Structure 1
Amino acid sequence: MKVIRLVLGQLILLFNAVFSPRSLKRDEEQQDKVNQAVAQLKLYQFDACPFCVKVRRTAKRLSLPLETRDAKQPEHEKELIAGGGKRKVPCLRIEEDNGNVTWMYESNDIIEYLENRFNAA
């Protein structure tokens, strides 16, 4: 089973690289505002997870320099479990200006959040 997962994971990464989406173009001032807002977001993920790839593709399409954290690394895994409550990816850590932190699971929910927040920005 591990071999199948490894092969499928590499295929997913290959297809993602070959068929990478185009990035949204914004003027410099708009992109700076987006970059500042995105600095408060962290995506906990696994490289070859198809749901994580789906979220990263959306971030690329929306020109979001989203920080990714590999949940296989012990320090990131601990952060994910301590903050979000479970070791499940993808998970988006959203830090509000007031310091409140929300942990969002489910790729479709994360994509909807990113599109609603940044598509018109």
Structure 2
Amino acid sequence: MKFIRWTLGKIILLLNAIFSPRGIKRTEEAQRLIDKKAEHYSLYQFEACPFCVKVRRAMKRQSVNIELRDAKNDPTHREALEQGGGRIKVPCLRIEKDGEVQWMYESADIIGYIEKEFA
């Protein structure tokens, strides 16, 4: 079973690399504002998780540079996800606004939020 998951993960990553989406072209100033806004976000994810790939593709389409945190291989990020979000489930978007932290699970919700906030 582990071999099958590993193989499927590598296939997903390969297809993502081959068919990578194009990002929005913005002026330097507009992209700088988007990057500044994105500093308050972190995406907890596993590299080969299909739902995480889906969210990363949405980020690329919107040209958003949200910090990626590997919750599978980095125990610090894994623990932060469990403590802050309440469970180890990916993808999870950590949103920090006005000193408050919100944890958003579910890839469709995260993609909708990214498209709304960064379009």
TM-score by length of 2: 0.98
Taking the aligned partners of 2:67 and 2:93, their CA distance within structure 1 comes to 10
CA distance in 2, matches of 1:43, 1:6: 22
1:23-81 C-alpha deviation (Å, 9 max, x unpaired): 10011111111000001000000000000000000001110111100001110000000
**What is the Cα deviation at residue 19 of structure 1?**
0.1
Structure 2: runs of 5 or more not aligned: none
**Structure 2 CA distance, aligned partners of 1:78 and 1:21?**
32
Between the two proteins, the alignment pairs up a number of residues equal to 118
How far did 1:115 drift?
Answer: 0.1
Distance (whole Å) between structure 2 residues aligned to residue 93 and residue 51 of structure 1: 16
Which stretches of structure 1, 4 residues or more, deviate above 6 A after TM superposition?
none
Secondary structure of 1:76 counterpart:
helix
Name 2:75's counterpart in structure 1.
Answer: 74
Q: Name stretches of at least 5 consecutive residues in structure 1 with no aligned partner.
A: none
Q: Give the residue type in structure 2 aligned to 1:82.
A: Q
- Are residues 1:57 and 2:49 paired? no
Distance, in Å, in 1 between the alignment partners of 2:45 and 2:53 is 9
Identity %: 58
User: What residue identity is the alignment partner of 1:85?
Assistant: G
Q: Distance in 2 between matches of 1:117 and 1:42?
A: 14
Name the TM-score, length of structure 1 as normaliser.
0.96
For residues 20-99 of structure 1, what are the structure 2 equivalents within 5 Å? 20-72=20-72, 73-96=74-97, 98-99=98-99
Cα RMSD (Å) of the superposition? Answer: 0.5
CA distance in 1, matches of 2:16, 2:51: 12
Read off the aligned partner of 2:36 and give its amino acid letter.
Answer: Q
Q: What displacement does 1:88 show? A: 0.1
Deviations 1:6-32 (A, max 9, x none): 000000000000000001001111111
Equivalent-residue separation in structure 2 for 1:77 and 1:39 (angstroms)? 20
The CA distance in 2 between the partners of 1:116 and 1:66, in whole Å, is: 15
Separation (CA, whole Å) in 2 of partners of 1:76 and 1:117: 24
